[in-house]
Structure 1
Amino acid sequence: MWESTGPAVLALGALPTFAATGTVVWAVARPRAAIRQRLGRLARPTAVCAALSLVTSFALPEPGHGSGWKLAETAVLLLLLAVVTRWSPPRELTAALPPAVLAVALWPLPLAGGGSFLESVGIAAFWLLPAAAAVAAGAHLRRQDLRRRSAVAEARSAQRLQLSRDLHDFVAHDISGIVVQAQAARFVAATDPSQAVLALERIEKAGLSALAAMDRTVQMLHGPEAPGTEPLPGLSQLPVLLEDFGAAGTTEAQLDLPPLVTEVLSREAGSAAYRIVVEALTNIRRHAPDASRATVTFTPTATSVEIRVTNDRGARPAPARRRVSRGGLGLPALTEHAQALGGTLSAGPHGEGGWQLTAVLPATSPKETP
């Protein structure tokens, strides 16, 4: 009976091959944008093809028929194994892998005839090797993609954090000065218009400074080689910073910056020192606007530079509506930055109701003069 239906047997033997090949063609014969989505939906078709392969391997009456198709079918199943391991969701992957691996490992057993159990185990173990290699290749590509996605996510998070720090450290400082000047101008406008004009000039200067900080931050998002990108402020801008701070309110600001400091602090440490002073002055303006004096002192030592910012009147309690700074902003972020550079930062009460911020940054060897 089966001799007269030889073509039918061959057709049944070739059915899994055509099914597996059709699955691959269905996945890739689409616009490029849709290929990745279809590759992620191959788990169920792969499981169906594997089931057909197992059925035809053990149900056909003459195992020798269609062995050529079986080799081609195994090659396509190995390709599907790699693709499914790379692209399929974990839940669907766990359902597709076992039948596909079994189909690859067990297809030669009917051809072995009445071999012993050990021979059958050896054959199955041998064909497990290409199946394991296909799964390993797909898993490797999947792991590489996960690492790449994780690296991109970390880079974006670091960029957003740097953006928030720049906006907090620089823009918030300038806006605080604008608020102070606007309040002063409102009170003196009626009695001394000339002072109001000066206050408006300082408001304009602070506004331009805030816009420059925002432009620098936006340019940073375009990459380090963006045209027109300016370096972050450093120690050389501290005198102007203290002058503007003193002019913006009633607090007298003093700066003690020995020339040696600029030689022993790296550019990154100098930028961090500028940020620390900006944050300290901003906190004085917000929480101790009635302080009569603020002092910024740099003290170089053999291995470090100590920065002290003090005011002679304690910080007033923050308003209830003020949001407490969280990770990435203010003193916590500056403390992490200082520690990353190998230094320290702390703040607390000082003297009779005053406040003091102390930071220590590591120093590099000063340049030797010829």
Structure 2
Amino acid sequence: MLRDDLRTLWTEPRPPDAPVRVWRDWALLAAGLAGVVLEATLREDVAWRPVAVVCAVWLCLLLLWRRTRPLAMVTLAFGSVVLLPVVSLVVVPREPVGLYTSGVVLVLVYALPRWGSGREIVLGGAVILAAGVLCSVMDETPFLENVVGLAFLLLPGVVGAAVRFRGTARERQLEQVRSREREQLARELHDTVAHHVSAMVIIAQAGRVLAGIDPSAAVEALEGVEEEGARTLEEMRAMVAALRDRGVGAELAPPAGVADLERLVRTPGGRLRVDLGLDGELDALPPAVDAAVYRIVQESVTNALRHAVDATELVVRVTAERHTVRVSVRDNGRRTGRGRDGYGLTGLRERATLLGGTLRAGPGTDRGWHVEAELPRARSESGAHSRPRR
């Protein structure tokens, strides 16, 4: 068991979303260099002042590569930290060398488990422990103080590992939400194909019955089969193009759509007055878009009931244009907390993206929470080869 855990840690890759360099890096570097200048100028008991200043500046510069080269930066930093005390013992015994600003190495201890691979974490952790033990041996402070100092040195690494675990867990949950959306789209694809193929079978059966009686009626039946088949291909291509992964669940109930919005907003819980407005040709939407509109309104109404404080009204607008369908949901309440997107909004944004549309959610200019979505009625590459609808 322990061997398997160690093997898993050793083969753990780096996080895929590590930024190379952001504004915080330059702010941290500026603060570190300012601390070096102030300490070197105001502190009088600095031994080997030029060497101590150069070492502190070196440690500050290493912070710029702590995400992309965590193991190398830890090795260089702690090698420098250990080298100075060793040299001071040989040349000037019992005289500590270095600035307090050199404590920026704690940032490197944090970055190692946060951004390093499993192999880098193990090797870098060994370097940190070796440096900490060596400095403790060379120091004449009591054993208990050395233990406390070593624990303080390792604390940023524990924090970095916790932050990484939390981020990984959230990303895993988001991926599960996206997977559920894809599975639901797959079920809707099943329903769409089954519906249209059933209609084609019925039309073909009717045409076969009428073929001997009225040939013209049989020709019309064949035209109906052709048109129904073209419509099926259009909708199927749009939905298959949206699905990156396939997974058909067991539930095959027809999804709710725009026609069900009236029933949805009539029972929002009694606390909110819902103003629903439907405009344009909304009767012939592709099933995937029809279901997406319903899901966006449903999730927005649910979020307003849960999170909108002092809200009294919810305005829902669904507008069908020639090539797009626009959905707008706005409440007049106020939100508490940091306002980070929940898993419901993440799933809706994933669904809108898979269908070729966009979804934005955030606070309004005055108050309330606004959800705006724009979905294409059909993909252009599919519609270009389909017959016009009757």
Q: Return the TM-score normalized by structure 2.
A: 0.43
Q: Return the TM-score normalized by structure 1.
A: 0.45
Q: Tell me which structure has the larger Cα radius of gyration.
A: 1
Quick one: higher RCO (CA 8 Å, sep 6+), 1 or 2?
2
